[in-house]
Structure 1
C-alpha cells in the first residue's frame, strides 16, 4: 500500500515560536506608540514584556523541536525593532530631543549598534570556533539587556522622581555606553554560564520568590535591582571568562 502523501503547510510546532517572536516585535514596537502619548511607564513596560517573550521563543522552539533558519532571522529582525529602534525612540522623545545637535545622532547610534550586534550574531551562527559561546558566555551585552540598561534611568525616574536621570548630559553618555557594550567583545554571563551550587539551591529559590513578590508589589524597584545587579556582574563575567580561557590554555599546553 502506497504511503499517504504528507499534507502541505506549516505545522503548529514550527509556527508557535515564530508567533511568539512576532508578538514580541509588536509588543516592543507598541512602546513607541505609548511614548508618543507621553505614557512613559507603559512604554517601558512594553519593552519589558517584549523581553520576556523574546526569552520564551527560543526555548519554545527547542522544546517543540521547531527551530528554523526563518525563525532565527525573524528573531533578529524583531530584536532590532523591539530592543534597538523602539528604546532609542522612547529615550529620544523622553529627553534626548532636548539635547542640542547630537540628541538624534546618539539615538540613531544606539539603533545602529543593536543592528550590528545582531548582524554579527547571524554571521557567526554556523561558525564552530566561538570561544565565548563554547564556554557558555555571550559576546557583548545582548540586545534585550542592552535595551533594559538604556531604559534603566527611566525606571529610576519612575520610582524616585530624580531629576538628574532626565538630564541629557547624563543620559547621552549612558546611552553611548549601552550601545558600545552591545557591540563589544566583552564576555557576559548567559543562562548556561550561571551555575547554582546544590547547597545554595534553596537560597536561590527563596531569592526568586522574593523577587517575584517585589515585582508584584513594586515592579520598578524589582527591575531597577535586576539592572543594577546586571551591571555589577559585568566585571565578574569578564574575570570568570578569563579563568576559563586560562584553564583552556593550560590544558592545551599540557596536552
Structure 2
C-alpha cells in the first residue's frame, strides 16, 4: 500500500542528493516543530476562549503562544535541530500568534464597541504584523548585514507588538468600563501599535554579543527578575500595564542611543519589488 503522506524532509527534497536518506528522523529534529504547533494551538484556543467570553484565559493563551513561539527557535539551535522546514513553520505561525490571535481577542473584548472603526483597527494591526514579519525575514536572509542589525530591530518586533496591543484588555481587567468611548480610544491605540510595528524606529533587541554585565550586578539582577516574577504572579494585570508603559517609554531612549552610536547611518529596507521579497513570498 502506498503511503498517502509524503516523507518528512526537514531541509527540503534536495537533501537526498547528498547521499542515501535514512528512513528514521531523529526525534530532536521534530521537537522544535512540535513547540511551534503547540504555539499555534494556544493562539487559536485564545481566540475561541475570547468568543466564549473567558477573557482572562484567552489572554493567557495568547501570551503563552507568544512565549512558545519565542523559544522554538532557541530550542532548535540548542538541540542542533534547525531546518528549512522548521523555519517556514515558525514564520507561518508568527502571523497567527502575533497578528491574528491578539487582534481578534482585542476586537471581541473591546474594539467591537467602536463598530467598523474597531474592526478596521484590528485589520490594520494584523496586516502590519504580517508586513513586519516579512521584512524581518528578508533582512535576516541578507548576506551583507549592517553592523547595527545584531543589536537593533527595525520597528517594534512582532512578539512585543502582541503584548503591547493587549493593553486595553489589561485595563479592562482592572475595572475600566468597556463602553464606546473606551472602544474608540482602544482602536486609536491599536493603530498606533500597528504603526510602530512597520515604522523604521530602531528598537534595541538586547541580543548583542558584546553586551556585558558587571560581576557585582549579577546577583541584584537575578533578584530583580525573581521579584518581577513574584509581582507578576500576584498582580498580573497591574504588572502587565506597568510592563507595557516601561517598554513604550524606553523606545525613544533606544532610538537616541542608536543615533549616538551610528550617527546618520540610514536604515536600508527591502522594498516590495525587491528580488529578495519576491523569493520570500
**Alignment TM-score, normalising by the size of structure 2:** 0.80
The corresponding residue for 1:145 is 160
Higher normalized helix content (fraction of residues): 1
User: Residue 130 of structure 1: CA displacement?
Assistant: 3.5
Higher mean displacement: 14-23 or 121-130: 121-130
Runs of 4+ aligned structure 1 residues displaced above 6 Å come to none
Is residue 2:178 matched to residue 1:161? Answer: no
Q: Distance in 1 between matches of 2:213 and 2:91?
A: 30
Change (3 A) 1:185 1:9: farther
The answer to whether the 8 A contact 1:17-1:61 is kept is: yes
**Partner in structure 1 of residue 194 of structure 2:** 179
Decide whether aligned partners of structure 1 residues 100 and 216 sit closer, same or farther in structure 2, where only a CA change above 3 A counts.
closer
Using the TM superposition, name which of 119-128 and 168-177 deviates more: 119-128
TM-score by length of 1: 0.87
User: Is the aligned partner of 1:222 residue 2:239?
Assistant: yes
- Which of 91, 94, 107 aligns to 2:122? It is 107
Confirm or deny: 8 A CA contact 2:111 2:184 kept in the other structure.
no
Indicate conservation of the 8 Å contact 1:132/1:139, yes or no. no
The one-character-per-residue Cα deviations of 1:214-239 (angstroms, maximum 9, x if unpaired) are 12222223322222221121111111
Partner residue in 2 for 1:253: none
Q: More deviation in 7-16 or 80-89?
A: 7-16
Relative to structure 1, the CA distance from residue 191 to residue 71 in structure 2 (aligned partners, 3 Å threshold; closer, same or farther) is farther
Instruction: Say yes or no: does 1:52 pair with 2:67.
Output: yes
Kept in 2: contact 1:76–1:118 (CA 8 A): yes
Shift of 1:133: 5.3
Question: Is contact 1:133–1:139 with CA below 8 Å preserved after alignment?
Answer: no
Query: 1:132–1:187: 8 Å Cα contact kept in structure 2?
Result: no
CA RMSD of aligned residues (A): 2.4
1:238 aligns with 2:255: yes
Matches of 2:197 and 2:240 in 1, distance apart? 20
- Matched-pair contact (CA < 8 Å) for 1:186–1:238: yes
Gaps of 5+ in 1: 250-255
How many equivalent residue pairs?
245
Give the SS at the match of 1:125.
Answer: helix
Conserved 8 A contact 1:164-1:170? no
CA distance in 2, matches of 1:85, 1:206: 36
Residue range with higher mean Cα deviation, 6-15 or 235-244: 6-15
Matched, 1:213 2:230: yes
Mapped contact 2:113–2:184 kept (Cα < 8 A): no
Post-superposition Cα deviations, 1:69-126, rounded to whole Å, max 9, x if no partner, equal: 2212211211101110111111111122222432212211111111111111222232
Deviations 1:119-153 (A, max 9, x none): 11222232033337534111111111101100012
Partner-residue secondary structure (3-state), 1:110: helix
- Could you give the per-residue CA deviations for residues 162-217 of structure 1, whole angstroms, max 9, x where no partner exists? 23797122111100011111111111121314653333222211110101111222
Partner residue, 2:274 = none
Assess, with a 3 A threshold, how the Cα gap between structure 1 residues 175 and 247 changes in structure 2: closer, same or farther.
closer
1:82 aligns with 2:117: no
Task: Give the whole-Å Cα distance in 2 for the aligned partners of 1:240 and 1:10.
Answer: 46
Q: CA deviation at 1:34?
A: 0.5
